Structure 1
Amino acid sequence: MKMRTVISILLVLAIIFGLNGYIGWHAKVFLADQLGTWFHPGIYWIVFWLVALSYLLAWIGSRVLPGGVSRVLKVIGSYWFAMMQFGFLLLPLTDLAIGVLHLASVSSETYIPILGWLDTAIVLILMLRGSYNARTPVIRKYDITIPKQAGDWDQLRIAVASDIHLGSIVGNRHLRKLVTRVNEMKPDLILLPGDVIDDDIKPFIRYDMGTTMRQLQAPLGIYAVLGNHEYIGGHIPAFVEQMQKIGIHVLMDETVHLLDRLYIVGRKDKAAERTAEGRKALAALLEGADHAQPIIVLDHQPYHLDKAADAGADVMLSGHTHRGQMAPNHLITGRLFELDWGYLRKGNLHAIVSSGFGTWGPPIRLGSRSEIIELTVHFKK
């Protein structure tokens, strides 16, 4: 197992260094052509590798670097993730064009600046559009009916925000948009299906994001579950404590009977299956529940919709996928999950997967949007 882990790490590093070297060489050729004698290869490669490895440097040095330095490195590195994907998609096409132009006896002095500036313009347009998609949340509305009684309730309006990823990249500015848009809905209930923070709890505390998040309002309360990033960060007790301080209930394999009318089931993230304590099966969490009443399940990763349906869940709310966040990654998430975004009816189960409010890595979205879900649930009278 250790050897397999070492081989996997080495393979990932080889891919990272290989791809970055490929991008760096193309950028070097273009800059050398444009800057002429002003271009210094040694300085260029030092700056390039500092930028390319800045996220890794921030992660390795998080315990020794000042918070501000670590944050700057992480921001630079996050944007560089987008550059890596753009380079992976654009540069092979650029090389193909170079090959065709070379066979056509076109001088490199002609095609290098043209292709270089064309790639630069495409990347700039993608970055601007992607930034707009990530920073301008939309409201997705779903209207469903559960053929069960929930006391004297005719309907319930629920605000759902998954994958907020609060941390060094997504901070108070974006969080305030969430607070404003959710409170404008006047929801009865707020549900947060995982990845509230982005790995590390320290930026949440350092930038006092709890004060902003405390402004979320719903008469029936706010409930959250753990996502894989809470497990990656390893600060789960501190995260739960921070949420408790601002009135958010983190459900870890727990079932809440809300006003004796409706059940909210909060599952630990699937990542818990790799820990000593594991996580309970959904059927076990629903033992003793009155299945004549509505059951809403929060499960960060949208796996096993069939098992949720068989266990008697009426609604399952998830996130995690980001819908790939940047196209064409949605082609991958679409293969990995039965439902990677949107709505699916599975037997009596209404499954909804959000593309998320925040972002992981670059605050860039292409082919997806930052979103908040407004879910209206109608009950049998």
Structure 2
Amino acid sequence: MRYVFFIVIILLLELFSLGAALSLQWWIAPWTKLASQTMAMIVVFLISNGLLLLSVSKLLKNSYRWVSGWMLAMHFMVLTAAIISLIYGAGWVTMTMFDSATIFAMPAISVALGLRGLALLVFIGLFVYALYSAYIPKVRHLTVTINKPLLKPLRIAVASDLHLGRLFGNKAIDRLQRLITQSQADMLLMPGDIMDDNTQAFSDYNMAANLARLCASLPYGVYATLGNHDLYGHEKPITESLRNAGVQLLNDEVLRLDYKGQPMWLVGRFDNHKRQRVATTELLAQVNTEEPVILLDHRPSDIIEHSLLPIDLQLSGHTHNGQIFPANFIVSSINRLGYGYEAIGKGHFVVSSGYGFWGIPFRLGSRSEIWLISLSGQ
């Protein structure tokens, strides 16, 4: 499976390179000769495959970010070309229908330069919007009513996939605290991928102090489970760092809470990257399922099975809603619920696109977010 993933990535890199090279050739055509346009194509493929070799040989630090960034730039070139083609086609059809004399009277060079100027603006606009979508979160509100006793509504803030690291750190933690305080949430639940693979940036930038202030600001605390990026060889230091900051980790564990005199249960699962993780049914055997049950499960891959169990609310992340268009369509096609909220079977399910991002600080077709869930019962 791992080799299939790498083959797909290489094929996508070459495909993006071809699309970007053709887009770049079109853009520089009014000012260059054919030889220069051919050289532009060669340069694009040299950069792509050079980065690929540096990544495979591990000679480039954080090579995945460089490759991802370059692929994003090429992807935006292709998207820009597609958008300009649609605009030009729509404009040509409109002018032909209503003012055919004007379109034929316009100098070809003026049209060409105008389209290229517009293409540059679209390309820059895509980057700005994608950066905004990654760093400026949206608060999504949801009201859920369950068929169990919970007379006093519980306000739950959900922030998955923080990926705390060099590109997403103290400012993001402080912003999260402000949003949660404004929302008057009772607790914060974080279903996995809290760190970006390790604790190096977390320690270097003293994020523990900011995270501790966040934890102290919640009346009923902060609870989390670990995702795949928390388990890639650094599970122990990540676990220790989070617990020292005040985060209560539920690693294949259950916890009974008293919320204003009302009992409720939190259940946390390891991500399935942990092969020896405990089955959900074994965890539920430790729970009084007549009382409200909230499950934190990083991946939404077991939703169908969980919809048959006495779980009232499941919170997941992992998918990032694709992070970059059109990957959101792929996420939707391979998951029962790849993003959003749905009541399925016996329970309610929320899959967040995440508060942070993976790899590079850009989102297109998805948005950085937290969920504010008002949970009430009978």
* TM-score when normalising by structure 2: 0.80
CA-to-partner distance for each residue in 1:321-358, whole Å, 9 max, x for gaps?
Answer: 22222333322222122222222111330111112111
Check if 1:23 corresponds to 2:13: no
The residue that corresponds to 2:102 in the other structure is none
The residue that corresponds to 1:248 in the other structure is 247
Q: Residues 10 and 313 from structure 1, CA distance in 2 versus in 1: closer, same or farther, beyond 3 angstroms?
A: closer
Kindly state the Cα deviation for residue 179 of structure 1 after the two structures are TM-superposed: 1.9
The residue that corresponds to 1:263 in the other structure is 265
Q: Is the 8 A contact 1:81 1:362 kept in 2?
A: no
CA-to-partner distance for each residue in 1:192-236, whole Å, 9 max, x for gaps?
Answer: 0111122233222222222221111212221111112223x3211
Q: Is the 8 A contact 2:13 2:71 kept in 1?
A: no
CA-to-partner distance for each residue in 1:141-179, whole Å, 9 max, x for gaps?
Answer: 1111223225xx612111110111111322222232112
Q: Is the 8 A contact 2:161 2:355 kept in 1?
A: yes
Q: Residues 334 and 310 from structure 1, CA distance in 2 versus in 1: closer, same or farther, beyond 3 angstroms?
A: same
Q: Is the 8 A contact 1:322 1:354 kept in 2?
A: yes
The residue that corresponds to 1:155 in the other structure is 153
Kindly state the Cα deviation for residue 127 of structure 1 after the two structures are TM-superposed: 1.5
* In 2: Cα distance, 1:249 partner to 1:367 partner: 32
Q: Superposed, which structure 2 residues align to 1:109-128 within 5 Å?
A: 113=113, 115-128=115-128
CA-to-partner distance for each residue in 1:261-317, whole Å, 9 max, x for gaps?
Answer: 111000111222xx3x2x222111110321111000001111232321322101001
* 293-302 or 164-173, larger mean C-alpha shift: 164-173
Percent of matched pairs sharing the same residue: 31
Matching residue's letter, 1:256: L
The residue that corresponds to 2:295 in the other structure is 297
Q: Residues 53 and 225 from structure 1, CA distance in 2 versus in 1: closer, same or farther, beyond 3 angstroms?
A: farther
* TM-score when normalising by structure 1: 0.79
Q: Is the 8 A contact 1:135 1:370 kept in 2?
A: yes
Check if 1:319 corresponds to 2:317: yes
Matching residue's letter, 2:265: Y
Aligned length: 356
Matching residue's letter, 1:261: P
The residue that corresponds to 1:203 in the other structure is 201
Secondary structure at 1:252 match in 2 = coil
Q: Residues 47 and 212 from structure 1, CA distance in 2 versus in 1: closer, same or farther, beyond 3 angstroms?
A: farther
CA-to-partner distance for each residue in 1:229-267, whole Å, 9 max, x for gaps?
Answer: 223x32111110110110112211111111381110001
Q: Superposed, which structure 2 residues align to 1:178-197 within 5 Å?
A: 178-197=176-195
The residue that corresponds to 2:9 in the other structure is 12
Secondary structure at 1:271 match in 2 = coil
Check if 1:134 corresponds to 2:155: no
Q: Is the 8 A contact 1:80 1:362 kept in 2?
A: no
Q: Residues 237 and 209 from structure 1, CA distance in 2 versus in 1: closer, same or farther, beyond 3 angstroms?
A: same
* In 2: Cα distance, 1:335 partner to 1:121 partner: 32
CA root-mean-square deviation: 3.6
Secondary structure at 1:351 match in 2 = strand
Q: Residues 52 and 360 from structure 1, CA distance in 2 versus in 1: closer, same or farther, beyond 3 angstroms?
A: farther
Q: Superposed, which structure 2 residues align to 1:320-335 within 5 Å?
A: 320-335=318-333
Kindly state the Cα deviation for residue 85 of structure 1 after the two structures are TM-superposed: 2.5
Q: Which runs of 5+ in 1 are unaligned?
A: none
* In 2: Cα distance, 1:128 partner to 1:118 partner: 15
The residue that corresponds to 2:96 in the other structure is none
Q: Is the 8 A contact 1:75 1:168 kept in 2?
A: no
* In 1: Cα distance, 2:64 partner to 2:171 partner: 17
* In 2: Cα distance, 1:149 partner to 1:320 partner: 31
* In 1: Cα distance, 2:28 partner to 2:234 partner: 44
Q: Residues 115 and 131 from structure 1, CA distance in 2 versus in 1: closer, same or farther, beyond 3 angstroms?
A: same
Q: Is the 8 A contact 2:188 2:221 kept in 1?
A: yes
* In 1: Cα distance, 2:16 partner to 2:313 partner: 42
* In 2: Cα distance, 1:40 partner to 1:303 partner: 46
Secondary structure at 1:134 match in 2 = helix
Q: Is the 8 A contact 1:75 1:169 kept in 2?
A: no
* In 2: Cα distance, 1:208 partner to 1:344 partner: 38
Q: Residues 194 and 114 from structure 1, CA distance in 2 versus in 1: closer, same or farther, beyond 3 angstroms?
A: same
* 162-171 or 51-60, larger mean C-alpha shift: 51-60
* In 1: Cα distance, 2:341 partner to 2:55 partner: 37
Q: Residues 81 and 169 from structure 1, CA distance in 2 versus in 1: closer, same or farther, beyond 3 angstroms?
A: farther
Q: Superposed, which structure 2 residues align to 1:210-225 within 5 Å?
A: 210-216=208-214, 217-225=217-225
The residue that corresponds to 2:233 in the other structure is 234
